[in-house]
A = this chain, B = another copy of it.
Amino acid sequence: MTTTFGAPSTLRSGSDVDLGPAVELVSKEEGHRQPLAPEFVSAEDFSPLEVAYDFGRITREEIEAGPRNIWRYKRLLPVPSNVEEIPNTEPGCTKLIRADRLAAELGVKRIWVKDDTGNPTHSFKDRVVAVALAAAREFGFQVLACPSTGNLANAVAAAAARAGWDSVVLIPSSLERAKVLTTAVYDGSLIAIDGNYDDVNRLATELAAENETWAFVNVNVRPYYSEGSKTLAYEVAEQLGWRIPEQIVVPIASGSQLTKVDKGFKELGEVGLVDPTPYKVFGAQATGCSPVSHAFKSGHDVVQPVKPDTIARSLAIGNPADGPYVLDTVSRTGGSIEDVTDEEVVAGIRLLARTEGIFAETAGGVTVATAKKLIEAGKIDPDAETVLLITGDGLKTLDAVEDHIGPKATVPPNVDAVTKVLRG
């Protein structure tokens, strides 16, 4: 580990950085503008900072001629102009699968599954981390860091390894051994913290303040990191033949992904890459951590924090930073938000696996089960097409299904025994 401590400032900002079409940061509440820098909260109104762009003219042909990963959309992202030449993971261009058997089971006309299990570490986090790494390098950071309980830890450790960077990944010491191993294998500085995820998160913010060369992907470079989720919208639209789907169901953790998918669709319309057709965004939560769903159903515009208790751990953020923006987006587009029990989550995982051969993590189970509930309630139009975002892999959350599935039977090695089971 050659991590630098207390080194003099080597960070760049403003016009000293090339982040492609990104021109400024803007505060979400009051629209205050400031130069590009590794900052995440406006000093003016204390709201989150978001990247503002000057896109210029972008053509479909130019994108289609780009690499088969998220860097084909580099002119819509806060990344250097030559980003595809710099060592990094190459997430994205995951499959959009026409799910006719699932659609038939749910009684709707057409469902598409955006299957992000095909990413390098098998979750959408590879998208956001790759963008964070690209921006962080341009600012002059030297270490990639995060607090995490799973998918983010994998993605940060893998991306840092590919780039030849040191990584510092902080996890609660109680984390399941499988998630520890899938991070530790990349040989960064994985450190277990005696405390819960809130303790780990607080520690990350303190460490970010004390170590100027550490880019905590979801803290000090969060405005860049979160833009990576827009690529889900870009890909879905391109894969549909350059059009926006009528309905999309997105799981809600911090809420960032849902708002960025919406932002992605809007931008595509604004720059003329697609017709700006109407679309509805639906949000999915687990009932055991459903503060945004609760606020939506109660008609509140404030999200009351909760203490999470659900098997969908990758969505278990009790105080979601982008909750209010999720409520705005869903209301504006005419969507809805629903939540599902842990039993429904497992049923959702099994339904998707049985009908489409796709094994999703618990968050995917939340998305599928919520879609089912919204269809049954008449909120999702069965005659319009729907995209489901499956953002992570079932191999990482085996514990959620292990009490529910297994072999049909255990029999001696002879034909009659097998035949009897199958005829049974």
What is A's interface to B at a CB cutoff of 8 Å?
1, 3, 5, 68-69, 87, 89-90, 93, 95, 97, 100-101, 115, 118-122, 157-162, 164, 168, 170-171, 173, 177-178, 180-182, 184-187, 189-195, 199-200, 202-203, 206-207, 210, 349-350, 353-359, 393-396, 398, 401-402, 405-415, 418-419, 421-424
Contact = CB atoms under 8 A, between A and B. Distances in A.
B90 A180 contact: no
8 contacts: A101-B164, A158-B359, A181-B398, A181-B401, A191-B408, A192-B407, A210-B415, A393-B395
Nearest to A351: B187
Contact of A359 (B182, B401, B415): B182
B412 A194 contact: yes
A419 B193 contact: no
B357 A120 contact: yes
Given A182-B394, A185-B401, A396-B395, A191 B413 contact: no
B421 A191 contact: yes
Contact of A161 (B115, B355, B406): B355
A95 B100 contact: no
The residue in A164, A184, A413 that gathers the most chain B C-beta atoms within 10 A of its C-beta is: A413
A418 B357 contact: no
A412 B193 contact: yes
B358 A171 contact: no
Where chain A touches its partner, the secondary structure class is: mixed
Nearest to A359: B185
Given A359-B121, A394-B182, A422-B189, A171 B407 contact: yes
A226 to B, nearest CB: 21
A250 B182 CA distance: 24
A148 to B, nearest CB: 13
Given A168-B418, A181-B406, A189-B421, 8 more contacts: A3-B422, A101-B162, A121-B359, A190-B406, A193-B412, A194-B410, A203-B414, A207-B418
A216 B202 CA distance: 54
Contacts of A408: 189-191
Which are the 7 A-B pairs with shortest beta-carbon distances? A158-B357, A162-B357, A161-B357, A195-B413, A192-B410, A199-B413, A187-B354
B422 A1 contact: yes
Given A90-B97, A184-B405, A411 B358 contact: no
Contacts of A350: 185, 187
